[in-house]
Amino acid sequence: MDSIFIFSGTTEGRELSSLLAERGYDCTVSVAT
């Protein structure tokens, strides 16, 4: 399984990680708020 680390804003990170998780990717998200 592929793993992705995302640096993003809060909303964008949540949306992107949800989309990728639905497609089977393991996501770690770091946000700056």
Q: What is the pTM of this model?
A: 0.72
- At 3 the pLDDT is 87
Kindly report, residue by residue over 1-33, the tens digit of the pLDDT.
678 999 999 999 899 999 999 999 999 999 887
- At 1 the pLDDT is 65
- At 30 the pLDDT is 93
- So where are the chain's domains? 1-33
What whole-number distance in Å separates Cα of residue 19 and Cα of residue 33? 21
